[in-house]
């Protein structure tokens, strides 16, 4: 069976358009509940954790999923608004059989989606996603009344996750004397990240921490860094930290307000681990990772491997290689010796530990990495696209690769979460890269209409 609903990171789309509708979510809750119950067979009544970000539609989908799960005979524990990595953590801590996050991550409020975690706090493997899709093709049948699941709300979930985040730094670690501008994207970290950094001693200036259901990621957060950069420059703080709507990504800005992206943050963490003797043989990135990251890590004697885009692919390659550090340019960073999935708050604390140990600033910490100019253009398409079916596109890519030679690279990738094809060109000359990317994107647009 071919996957129909699941993309790179769960199921995502526009609210009110299939499959992001209440009736589908009801069926999805039932279908996933049946699969999780089978996986937990013999271990007592199956239980599932549900968390969400701050989108107004989250309440609607929470209720629908809850109804479907209990109709399948599964108990449900509700966390309320919580970062995605917090749901992964609480799934493990509550001994649940699975975790569900209602979020469209960095997308606007009118989108929403569903992410799943297994009992170990990791994203679901393909075979479990396919099993859920197979159940979706069946008629919904409610279990007998005596077998219907029950629903409870987990008290102080935010407090528990706050304490976990603080436990990922050494005893006695302090941010006292550090002034940090913090952007929570009006999302799921709004009530947690300021507390974590403040309780560790930092002076925190917070923006993007007043969610109203509609303003998530709007002009703030890791997808729109300008507001944070302005605050850093105006307030004269030491650095800025920005999370995305569901808190699994982090980007930073230095004291000048300049962006420090996920590749650079990954490099900073890797160098700190190398300096403290905690480094593995290598680091995992993705097809989108800047070539400068690979070159900088190899210069320090570390290997670098590229996985497919998507944190679960990064995690799978980390496990295959026996490495503990990996991430994406978007700021989705996984420290698997600390937690099971990408965690914006935890990753930012890893960077802050490196900052404190070096006694410098972000600009100095990233001096060892020379980021090559990289341009990416998103080309809108209708539905899923098989690029291999268009030889004209392959010829256009070959022409650009021939012009770049060994000085750069080209990547075309259909998005797993949006109806877009991502066109990326990377090389030594910024003007050449931008021009080649624009031309290639035009070619793709013309072929795909």
Of 351, 349, 280, the closest CA to residue 317 belongs to 280
Integer-rounded Cα radius of gyration of the chain: 22
Q: Rounded to whole angstroms, how far apart are CA atoms 355 and 202?
A: 13
Element (H, E) at 29: helix 22-39
Examine the residue annotation and report whether 279 is marked as an active-site residue of this protein.
no
Given a contact cutoff of 8 angstroms between Cβ atoms, the answer to whether 289 and 328 are in contact is yes
Q: Rounded to whole angstroms, how far apart are CA atoms 222 and 261?
A: 9
Residue 384, SS3 per DSSP: coil
3-state helix, strand, coil in the chain (%, to 5): 40, 20, 40
List the beta strands (DSSP E) in 297-355: 303-307, 325-327, 333-335
Q: For 359-429, where are the alpha helices, taking DSSP H only?
A: 362-365, 391-404
Of 95, 87, 76, the closest CA to residue 114 belongs to 87
Q: Rounded to whole angstroms, how far apart are CA atoms 186 and 103?
A: 13
Q: Rounded to whole angstroms, how far apart are CA atoms 204 and 112?
A: 30
For the chain, what is the largest distance between any 2 Cα atoms, rounded to a whole number of angstroms? 69
Q: Rounded to whole angstroms, how far apart are CA atoms 227 and 198?
A: 21
Q: Which of 57, 105, 195, 222 is flagged as catalytic?
A: 105
Strand partners, 305: 284
Element (H, E) at 101: strand 98-102
In the numeric block, the tokens 């390659």 are attached to 317
Three-point CA angle 111, 55, 126, nearest 5° = 55
Residues annotated as part of the active site: 105
């Amino acid at each position: 069976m071919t996957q129909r609903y699941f993309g790179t990171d769960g199921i995502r789309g526009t609210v009110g358009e299939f499959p992001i509708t209440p009736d589908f979510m009801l069926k999805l809750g039932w279908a996933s509940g049946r699969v999780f119950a089978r996986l937990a067979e013999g271990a007592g009544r199956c239980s599932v954790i549900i968390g969400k970000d701050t989108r107004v539609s989250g309440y609607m989908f929470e209720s629908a999923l809850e109804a479907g799960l209990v109709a399948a005979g599964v108990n449900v524990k509700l966390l309320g608004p919580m970062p995605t990595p917090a749901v992964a953590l609480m799934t493990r801590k509550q001994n649940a059989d699975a975790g569900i996050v209602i979020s469209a991550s960095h997308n606007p409020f009118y989108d929403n989606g569903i992410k799943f975690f297994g009992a170990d706090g990791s994203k679901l493997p393909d075979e479990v996603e396919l099993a859920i899709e197979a159940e979706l093709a069946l008629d919904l049948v409610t279990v007998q009344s005596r077998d219907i699941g029950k629903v409870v709300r987990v008290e102080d979930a935010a407090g528990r996750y706050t304490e976990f985040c603080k436990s990922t730094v050494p005893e006695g670690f302090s941010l006292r004397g550090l002034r940090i501008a913090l952007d929570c994207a009006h999302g799921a970290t709004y009530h947690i990240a300021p507390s974590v950094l403040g309780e560790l001693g930092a002076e925190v200036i917070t923006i993007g921490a007043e969610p109203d259901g509609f303003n998530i990621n709007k002009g703030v957060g890791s997808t729109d860094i300008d507001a944070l950069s302005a605050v850093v420059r105006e307030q004269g703080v030491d650095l800025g930290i920005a999370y995305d709507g569901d808190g699994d990504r982090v980007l930073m800005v230095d004291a000048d307000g300049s962006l420090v992206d996920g590749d650079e943050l990954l490099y900073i963490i890797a160098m700190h681990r190398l300096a403290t003797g905690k480094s593995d043989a290598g680091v995992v990135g993705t097809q989108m990772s800047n070539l400068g990251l690979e070159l900088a890590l190899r210069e320090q004697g570390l290997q670098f491997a590229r996985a497919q885009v998507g944190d679960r692919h990064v995690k799978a390659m980390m496990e295959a290689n026996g490495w503990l550090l990996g991430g994406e340019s978007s700021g989705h960073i996984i420290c698997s010796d600390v937690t099971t999935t990408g965690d914006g708050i935890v990753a930012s604390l890893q960077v802050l530990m490196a900052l404190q140990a070096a006694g410098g600033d972000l600009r100095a910490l990233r001096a060892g990495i020379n980021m090559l100019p990289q341009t990416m253009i998103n080309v809108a398409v209708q539905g899923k696209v098989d690029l291999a079916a268009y030889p004209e596109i392959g010829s256009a890519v070959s022409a650009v690769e021939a012009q770049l030679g060994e000085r750069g690279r080209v990547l075309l990738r259909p998005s797993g979460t949006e109806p877009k094809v991502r066109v990326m060109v990377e090389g030594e000359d910024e003007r050449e890269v931008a021009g080649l990317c624009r031309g290639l994107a035009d070619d793709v647009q013309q072929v795909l209409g």
